[in-house]
Amino acid sequence: MKLDLTLPAAEAATGAVAQPVAPLSAKGADLIARTLVEIGVDTVFCYPGGANLEMLDALSRVAITLVRTEHEQGSVFGAQGYARATGKLGVCLATSGPGATNLVTGIADAASDSVPVLAITGNVATHWLGKNAFQEVDIVAITKPVTKLARQVREPRDIPAALREAAACALAGRPGPVLLDFPKDIQQARPDQPTDKRFTAPVPAGMSEETAQRIAALLARSERPVIYAGGGVIASGTGTRLVALAEALDCPVALTMMGLGAMPDDHPLLLGPLGMHGAYAANVAVNEADLVLALGVRFDDRVIGDPSSFARHAKIVHVDVDAAEIGKNKPVTLGVHADLRDAFSGLLAYAKRLGVPDWHAYLRERRETHPLRVAQPVAAGEASVLTGVDVITALAALLPPEAVVTTGVGQHQMWAMQHLRLRQPRTFLSSAGFGTMGFGLPAAIGAKVALPDVPVVDIDGDGSLNMSVNELSTCRRYGVGVKVLVINNQWLGMVRQWQDMIYARNRVASSLVDPNAPEGANDGRPYPDFVTIAAGYGVAGARVTRAEELPAALARMLEDPSEPYLLDVLVAREDDVYPMIPAGKTYRDVVFGPGQAAGPIAAGAF
């Protein structure tokens, strides 16, 4: 199946695609288009405006697909979805001023989750820079803190070299976003002798044999080892080596949200995700271990909680391609600055079975005692009411292993993290570090454009989807067969859960019900009515209100992979995400449900 990414008939009728194609000139905008093709870019997510029309005109005449989203933030999240699903460079294009600033949230999101995105912006002509011209903004200064490289190109001859350098920078080492800003006169200029340097990205020195032997010696003395692996494994494409190492050592593994899919969900050595809403056994393992082998992780606060209490009795070995992350949030016994592709070779060369059956038995008991499950039962008399976990579990049973799932941000995101059956890398795309609501739908569009023959489902919440529901128009315009599954509880659910737990149930500004509906009214039509909204964009949809309706509705949603479709599922309004470790607390403070906790657990209880 191939997506139809040509202009719709209505646009073609204006002559936009019927005009004769003129020979390429040597304008700066043409250099931009040509160079992007040469570095392997095949798709650009964009929104037009006065300062980028030169570039759009040039891009329309080369072998690059242009996907116009409904908002610049949709463009940058589309580029992210493309990059996260493929590992390739995602590219977005915006105009100056508000167009450029509308990219900033997505750029910061890409920085937090290490996603290679090239953001290209137009700007006012150089003679107007710094004069408060119409739609002028210093986007380079704004984005420098959240990019690996941010630069304004002031000489047209530098265009090819600047693009090659930016692309190499975005993909090198720890991936991340870069930004290039092109003033309009630079796009229009005709340089005589453009420079075209090639760039070789620097690589870490790698793991020495001595270091590999030292790690092997630490592992050999361990009685409670655990591998703590994250997004670096996904980014480096070393998931199979992670599995090989865990099996060679017979060592349990805990994954971060960014690492999900690096190891098949049904692997016997995988304990599941760890962190604030992670599996209890995974949190026990890293906190009661005597040796933590941390691979491609950043010791995020949502994972470690109180740094002084995290893995307090363990020796920690941290291997990461970004030297700045080593020891930043948690002191380590041994820090290794290395690309995981190189590091795994050394680790596997000296890996020996550890023989820790008592440790495995202990963790298995923790998993069996406190499995991931629906912690809060549906209220009496509502036997047919669905929970978010019910919906995601039913979806997981229908999806093939290669299916890509994106999420919005909120309770549905955590339920998806806990209950999807992820067996392949790059199949779970979620805003983990920045937690950006509205991420799910445009990211799903980017993934589907990149992988048109793969099922792509956006698991979204009603609050999160409401921030980007306009991108259904993009799905319709280009025939992008994204499936949107709305877990609809009529709340900003995670906000409401925190308000209940921390702020004495003072639910300020978190309700999403119709403000004019009678108190307690429930006619099966939630607010907003996403099915009607989808229809307004020409996208088919349906609503589910009872458990018995769900199987057939999911089957219908997945039936035609080329058709965009929205399924709005009303779930129990008061259901919460458990387990939960309160912010700043430790795994010993975990809450398993209303009024429940793990009880007193001493560190090193094993």
Tokens of 538: 């020409």
Parallel/antiparallel/unpaired status of strands 428-429 and 404-407: parallel
pLDDT at 24: 43
Domain count, the chain: 3
Q: Which of 188, 218, 251 is the last residue of a domain?
A: 188
pLDDT at 525: 75
Same domain assignment for residues 240 and 361? yes
**CA-CA distance, 49 to 366, in Å (whole number)?**
56
Residues 227/285, Cβ–Cβ less than 8 Å: no
Residues 298/312, Cβ–Cβ less than 8 Å: no
Parallel/antiparallel/unpaired status of strands 178-183 and 225-229: unpaired
- Length of the chain counted residue by residue: 606
The DSSP code for 33 is H
SS3 content of the chain, % helix, strand, coil (to 5): 40, 15, 45
pLDDT at 377: 43
Residues 412/460, Cβ–Cβ less than 8 Å: yes
pLDDT at 412: 98
Is there a domain that residue 377 lies in? no
Is there a domain that residue 603 lies in? no
For residue 250, the domain's CATH number is: 3.40.50.1220
pLDDT at 87: 98
Q: pTM of the entire structure?
A: 0.93
Q: Return phi, psi of residue 231, to 5°.
A: -60, -25
Same domain assignment for residues 136 and 218? no
Same domain assignment for residues 32 and 174? yes
**Strand order through the sheet with 149-152:** 65-68, 43-46, 90-94, 117-123, 178-183, 149-152
Q: Return phi, psi of residue 214, to 5°.
A: -65, -40
pLDDT at 69: 98
For residue 508, the domain's CATH number is: 3.40.50.970
Domain that holds residue 157: 28-188
Strand ranges, E, within 284-426: 291-295, 315-320, 334-337, 404-407
What are the DSSP calls for 363-394, one per residue? HHHHHHHS-S---SPPPTT-TT-B-HHHHHHH
CA dihedral 498, 504, 506, 510 (to 10 degrees): 20
Is there a domain that residue 138 lies in? yes
pLDDT at 601: 54
Is there a domain that residue 587 lies in? no
pLDDT at 8: 45
Residues 195/164, Cβ–Cβ less than 8 Å: no
What CA–CA distances, in Å, run from 344 to 78, 144, 221, 244?
32, 33, 20, 9
Same domain assignment for residues 231 and 348? yes
CA dihedral 210, 214, 215, 216 (to 10 degrees): 100
Same domain assignment for residues 528 and 411? yes
Short-list 556, 574, 576, CA closest to 566: 556
Same domain assignment for residues 319 and 240? yes
83-116 burial, b for 16+ CB within 10 Å, e for fewer?
bbbbbbbbbbbbbbbebbbbbbbbbbbbbbbbbb
Q: Which residues are catalytic?
A: 72, 134-135, 184, 494
Is there a domain that residue 6 lies in? no
pLDDT at 518: 65
Same domain assignment for residues 220 and 354? yes
Mind listing the pLDDT tens digit for each residue in 154-190? 999 999 999 999 999 999 999 999 999 999 999 999 9
Short-list 491, 298, 519, 341, CA closest to 410: 491
pLDDT at 42: 98
Give the residue ranges of the chain where pLDDT is below 70: 1-25, 373-383, 518-524, 597-606
- CA 431, distance to chain mean position in Å, is 4
pLDDT at 597: 64
Is there a domain that residue 50 lies in? yes
Tokens of 568: 């709005």
**CA-CA distance, 483 to 561, in Å (whole number)?**
8
**CA-CA distance, 390 to 429, in Å (whole number)?**
21
pLDDT at 489: 96
pLDDT at 26: 81
pLDDT at 2: 42
Number of neighbouring beta carbons within 10 Å of residue 603: 14
What amino acid is encoded at 317 in this protein? V
Same domain assignment for residues 318 and 280? yes
Task: Determine which helix (DSSP H) or strand (DSSP E) holds 511, and give its type and residue range.
Answer: none
Helix 340-349 to helix 209-220 angle (10° resolution) is: 60
Same domain assignment for residues 97 and 239? no
Facing residues of 569 across strands?
487, 544
Same domain assignment for residues 402 and 548? yes
Is there a domain that residue 247 lies in? yes
Same domain assignment for residues 161 and 49? yes
Is there a domain that residue 346 lies in? yes
Same domain assignment for residues 32 and 137? yes
- CA 461, distance to chain mean position in Å, is 16
Q: Which of 369, 401, 420 is the last residue of a domain?
A: 369
Tracing tokens 């060679």 back to the chain, one arrives at 248
**CA-CA distance, 84 to 185, in Å (whole number)?**
34
